[in-house]
Structure 1
């Protein structure tokens, strides 16, 4: 980066910092940005509802089914649905599984810590014993590889945890659209406030998970673990999906000698806020799936906006990704301002200074993301 470019970047970061200090957002306020963000979050809310319902179905009804061939059917199999599945005329539930596996791999938060606890191991073994009681092959597998099935149970816990997280999030996005349609949402600050209020309202919502085996209930994530929506699912989700992510095959070399991927997971910057929309829209890259899903539910006003831009619908997934990144900076703003050491709108100078240090740390983390790009689009 040239000295001039570095100076321009720092000036823009200072502008964003001042915006945060004054209660504004990481994304600049404009009627176009409001329209794009609300429209894409409406589409995303519809898709998230489908994702959440499927994850919870798998967690509750496919527990320790190692080859769940029909897990995407939510218990409602038909040949017509299978045909549509084969020809991809459906919601791409694989993206939801990609997200839960990224969360499982990166870890963080109380859910990750609990899944490494002795209490969880004990509960998992009880459920495994009940599930394999009438299955000699599964019992043999568990005997030969005693760590395998507990690890599978950890993954199933993330099916439920992520499903519960999205169950809270999708109504926030859908009601945001309703408020916009009614003329009550007109600024980016109002968008952020709506999302933040939803996060805070459910911050302490318990995250629990149990399965029923032969008529008996087995706890996997008991209420006594004290897991909650905000700190144990929302914050780890932001860290894993918005910030870290995973390197996309075909865009970087996985060869250790090439050293294109940091060996430290904490240094990963491949998440939704960092990804280049162009390779993100390429075939074989997981976020393409959610962009493909969202294109089916775009509000008419947003689709018309895309059609009027260069290339029309020819690069629709890329346009969706660019707008989606804008919306995720709004969600990130809601999370940041909801997690500040003191009330985000405090007028106390000492508290405001502490919040400022908190914001600066976040901006340092985000300076190599698409943050500067969205300031100018």
Structure 2
């Protein structure tokens, strides 16, 4: 079982393991269906889609244009080092790409799924050797450093591969979330079940899309993630992303101190439970705190309908980041549910006993993990009250 720190905030009762398993097997959505719930989920996914568009562009730029650059000082400029762009960055009038890097490092560190398996393979090591040899012929500084620190450049290549793969994953998810918002506005999506089904279909349609990555060095193309590796979108990147970011995560500085000696941090990474589905909705807006960085970005891209709803509930702008965080948690449960449904061993309508048993075991395993997550956010929005200043 995961090591769960004590909740700092409580919104209401949690669903039991049995209730979660029943919902997953019956096709009933984890997030309760209502107009307000759909407004929050679809609206926050629309803003998230806009942010992921920027994250994806920057991660792919870093992986392709800042490859093996030990001092990537301009990595957040997306290739636009104009004085105006640099000034905006210095004033922090920009997207917080640090959150995207946090997710990449979390995936790289937890190392689950087919992508990590390939990064540990002899084929990847051989590819790294060829890339490093080509790079050292043109970079005297790295040629001096590599014999002293032979593990440094291979690790940079592993990070670049994870960066590019995450950028490809977020490219698909950005398009999916923005298209979902259009479908909902045009009246083609009117229930929470339809929201989950739309996301599930998008994941399934992209499931077999190949994940590849190559770099140009001295006019020659070198494969980092070649087509022969057979990496695909769903099982090799999407599922490991859910495992690393939604479930495991990492304890981050800034809000809560954990005592590792008192076993408040599990020695086993598989038991980590600091991801988005377990997190307390406390974006303090302190520098460097991952959820705060993301909520700040999403606040800049909120659709007007959701922004107006936040203004009319709670304390308006005073706690908008906390409200975004809570809505985002609901949305991530929807995405997780869609991923579970998309990877279920058999269709929910199957009739054979062996297939039903396989589905039961799969749903039970997920239900056990989700039962200790923040399922108190799945019910109606009782945590908000009409803003008395606007009543």
Check whether the contact 2:254–2:286 (CA below 8 A) recurs between aligned residues.
Answer: no
Corresponding residue of 1:304: 308
Q: Is 1:245 the counterpart of 2:244 in the alignment? A: no
Residues 9/316 of structure 1: CA separation in 2 closer, same or farther (3 Å cut)? closer
* Counterpart mapping for 1:8-157 below 5 A: 9=14, 12-157=16-161
Looking at structure 1, the residues matched to 99 and 240 of structure 2 have their Cα atoms a distance apart, in angstroms, of 17
Gaps of 5+ in 2: 1-5, 7-12, 382-391
Q: Is 1:337 the counterpart of 2:352 in the alignment? A: no
Q: Is 1:269 the counterpart of 2:273 in the alignment? A: yes
The farther-off stretch of 15-24 and 332-341 is 15-24
Looking at structure 2, the residues matched to 156 and 142 of structure 1 have their Cα atoms a distance apart, in angstroms, of 17
Looking at structure 2, the residues matched to 284 and 163 of structure 1 have their Cα atoms a distance apart, in angstroms, of 21
Corresponding residue of 1:359: 363
Residues 280/233 of structure 1: CA separation in 2 closer, same or farther (3 Å cut)? farther
Corresponding residue of 2:324: 320
User: 2:167 pairs with 163, 169, 175, which one?
Assistant: 163
Corresponding residue of 1:4: none
**SS of equivalent to 1:315:** helix
Looking at structure 2, the residues matched to 19 and 43 of structure 1 have their Cα atoms a distance apart, in angstroms, of 28
Check whether the contact 1:114–1:120 (CA below 8 A) recurs between aligned residues.
Answer: yes
Check whether the contact 2:56–2:166 (CA below 8 A) recurs between aligned residues.
Answer: yes
CA RMSD of aligned residues (A): 1.7
User: 1:182 pairs with 180, 183, 186, which one?
Assistant: 186
Check whether the contact 2:184–2:190 (CA below 8 A) recurs between aligned residues.
Answer: yes
Corresponding residue of 1:212: 216
The offset of 1:14, in angstroms, is 3.5
Deviation by residue 1:185-231 (Cα, 9 ceiling, x = unmatched): 11111001110001000101110111001110001110000000001
The offset of 1:281, in angstroms, is 5.3
When normalised by structure 1's length, the TM-score is 0.94
Aligned residue-pair number: 370
**SS of equivalent to 2:243:** helix
Corresponding residue of 2:229: 225
The offset of 1:250, in angstroms, is 3.5
Q: Is 1:236 the counterpart of 2:240 in the alignment? A: yes
Looking at structure 1, the residues matched to 296 and 169 of structure 2 have their Cα atoms a distance apart, in angstroms, of 22
Check whether the contact 2:180–2:195 (CA below 8 A) recurs between aligned residues.
Answer: yes
Check whether the contact 1:338–1:344 (CA below 8 A) recurs between aligned residues.
Answer: no
Looking at structure 2, the residues matched to 38 and 76 of structure 1 have their Cα atoms a distance apart, in angstroms, of 32
Looking at structure 2, the residues matched to 255 and 21 of structure 1 have their Cα atoms a distance apart, in angstroms, of 38
Check whether the contact 1:246–1:270 (CA below 8 A) recurs between aligned residues.
Answer: yes
Looking at structure 2, the residues matched to 344 and 49 of structure 1 have their Cα atoms a distance apart, in angstroms, of 33
Looking at structure 2, the residues matched to 98 and 285 of structure 1 have their Cα atoms a distance apart, in angstroms, of 10
Residues 227/268 of structure 1: CA separation in 2 closer, same or farther (3 Å cut)? same
Looking at structure 2, the residues matched to 304 and 235 of structure 1 have their Cα atoms a distance apart, in angstroms, of 34
The farther-off stretch of 255-264 and 96-105 is 255-264
Bigger RCO (CA 8 Å, 6+ sep): 2
The farther-off stretch of 278-287 and 293-302 is 278-287
